[in-house]
Amino acid sequence: MPETVLVVGGGPAGLEAARTVAQLGGRAVLVERRDVLGGTPDESHYAALTPNMGSAQEALDILRAGVRDPAIEVHLGARLSAFAGSAGDFTASVTGADGATTEVKAGAVVVATGFQHFDPGRETQMYGYYEHADVITLPDAEKMLSEHRFVRPSTGEPPRNVAFIQCVGSRDRRLGNDYCSKVCCGVASKEAIEIRRLLPDAKVYIFYIDMRMYGYWENEIYWPAQEQYNVNYIRGIVTEIVAKEGRLLMKGEDTTMGRPLEVLMDVIVLSVGMEPSRGTREVAALLGVEQNRFGFIATPGEPMDPVGTSVPGIFVAGAAAGPKDLEDTMGMAGSAAAKALAAARQAGVRTAGAVS
Amino acid sequence: MTLQARYADVPVETKQRLFDEVRADIRFKDYLFGCYECGICVAACPSARFYDFSPRKIAQATGREDLGMFYEQLNDDIWNCSQCFSCLRCPRGNNPGGLITIMREVAINNGLTSARQALEGYGRVVYKIMSTGTQVSPDMLQPNAFPDWGPHVAEISENLELWRRALPPETLHTTTTAWYVDDKTLTELYLIWHMTGVLDMIKEVDEGLHMILNDVMEELLEEAGYSTA
């Protein structure tokens, strides 16, 4: 019987990790909380992916097809309810929606429990997310864009002026989220392009602290947004939004121009960042892996080992370990899968040696 | 888009029309891509050290299609540029100085009062450069000749002969060549002024000068077999 790797989470990281384990000749048991595979990109209705603008569902379908393999056992609507053991000899209880519990023996574990979008109403009400219908978030905009439309939620009419506010829930000491969420600049720019494609008469603004468009995102997303789609990037963060004449009045500073800014907008998109998902917090506690001060799973071997956790035999992939884009996530998933299988095999060899 | 300070009384349609004229220029797409607002152009700009002038803001206002700011710049900023093109070191490949070239042409072609005022003191230079192809000659150095040369010109003029003798190199030797230009060269030059619309441009800012230049050019062009009508 080949060594088994337990993969927790059926998003891009978990799907890729399970597929890689099977491709390397191992056996994977994939546990997913929801009834469908695909994780946050599916649950939050992602439209097009950043930066290549390809369909999110088509990309996920490739990953979903990857786990249709006799060597991969998928548990949907299931949660991890108990966990014990050490590298090479873990035992996990997987509880389904019907309450039935299955015991899984695994030599190693890959945690791929992901992130959740920052809730802009949680700590403060400064942008009035729960007050103004036309103040929405990146995933709210994704949902509309996945339906090939973009309107003012209050009226159903297309907006004339659209603003994105960057770093909502990120890079903020008051919130305790000191980190940059890494993808929001790219995602906002991608959405801005999609909005300009849908509504060529709309003006789209992105209000930012720094634009962080790593590597090829620079020339594949940022430059085209600015140069071909005339998206206006304005350095300055909005301090508050108030309702005025049925529209939204934004107050901020145009810092590079050195002047105050008061503009009427029709839709304001809050570029919410990443926080550890509830699943990441719960699974980390159950598995006994250390979390960093933000609640993400700690990777003490950084920078040379981005996938090892504080517990031997348990690895992490994707945004469960902190803000990641899909490129990082897929790379980590392959690495975590290979290292997990190697750890399980090594432990198996040791056990075999002890028996003989 | 922002709190507007100047030219609030100018109709937005006027600002839009002038902006569209700038954007429609054939050079525009090669002069403006996107702006990082990094300030490398301002750091390199000699004018920015002496005036309240920023090539970055020119690129920004144009890129953002900020009509209010564009119109302010069209009137109050573009004549502060020395057209040295140090701003070409832009990492995005922008050319703020080139944008200003286009904006100046639009300002003049539309007879903007600010353009007229900006060029008022330069009738002599414009006359010289358009009639001979060279900008100044040493004998043109007179106390009130060039307002942009500053107050020292008057001071220097007082003892100009002495200054000239004190300087080791020759200072008047180019006077003849600055005024005498071959007829063939002049004919070509005048044709360029006519065919590129530069002469029409002058008409918008200084009708008197336009008349004088026309007279100067007419004779030579007709001798060479061209009709100026």
Give residue-wise pLDDT tens across range A35-80. 999 999 999 999 999 989 999 999 999 999 999 999 999 999 999 9
pLDDT in tens, A210-249: 999 989 999 999 999 999 999 999 999 898 899 999 999 9
Least confident of A337-346, B3-12, B92-101: B3-12
Chain B residues touching residue A234 (CB < 8 angstroms):
64
- Spatial separation of the C-alpha atoms in residues B152 and A11, rounded to whole Å: 75
Q: Which residue would you say has higher pLDDT here, A206 or A123?
A: A206
Chain B residues touching residue A223 (CB < 8 angstroms):
33-34, 92
- Spatial separation of the C-alpha atoms in residues B133 and A108, rounded to whole Å: 83
Token representation of residue A327: 């490129």
Is B205:B116 a contact under the CB 8 Å cutoff? yes
Q: Do A256 and B60 touch (CB under 8 A)?
A: yes
Q: Do A223 and B57 touch (CB under 8 A)?
A: no
**Residue labelled with tokens 């071909």:** A228
Q: Phi and psi of A47, rounded to 5°? A: -90, -80
Q: Do B34 and A260 touch (CB under 8 A)?
A: no
**pLDDT confidence tier of residue A348, bands split at 50, 70 and 90:** confident
DSSP β-ladder status, A27-31 and A72-75: parallel
Length of chain A: 356
**pLDDT confidence tier of residue A124, bands split at 50, 70 and 90:** low
Give all domains of chain A, ordered by start, each with its CATH number.
Answer: 4-114+277-355 (3.50.50.60), 119-273 (3.50.50.60)
- CA–CA min distance A328, chain B (Å): 26
CA A184, A20, A74, A105: dihedral to nearest 10 degrees?
-120
Ordered by start, the domain boundaries in chain B are: 12-110, 120-223
> What's the whole-number average pLDDT of chain B?
90
Give burial (CB, 10 Å; 0-12/13-18/19+) of A120.
buried
> Which among B34, B56, B60 has the least Cβ separation from residue A223?
B34
- Chain A residue with minimal CA distance to B33? A227
DSSP B224: T
Q: Is the peptide bond before A303 cis (omega within 30 degrees of 0)?
A: yes
Q: Do B64 and A223 touch (CB under 8 A)?
A: no
pLDDT in tens, A261-274: 899 999 999 999 99
**pLDDT confidence tier of residue A355, bands split at 50, 70 and 90:** very low
Tell me the whole-structure pTM to 2 decimals: 0.87
Q: Do A256 and B69 touch (CB under 8 A)?
A: no
Least confident of A304-313, B46-55, B197-206: B197-206
- Chain B residue with minimal CA distance to A252? B2
pLDDT in tens, B116-137: 998 887 888 889 999 999 888 8
Token representation of residue A343: 């750890």
Best residue in A221, A257, A261 for a mutation probing chain B (most B CBs within 10 Å): A257
Length of chain B: 229
Q: With a CB-CB cutoff of 8 Å, which residues 215-274 of chain A face chain B?
A: 222-223, 226-227, 230, 232-235, 254, 256-257, 259-263
**Looking at domain B12-110, does it have CATH number 1.10.1060.10?**
yes
- Chain A residue with minimal CA distance to B36? A233
- pLDDT value of residue B58: 97
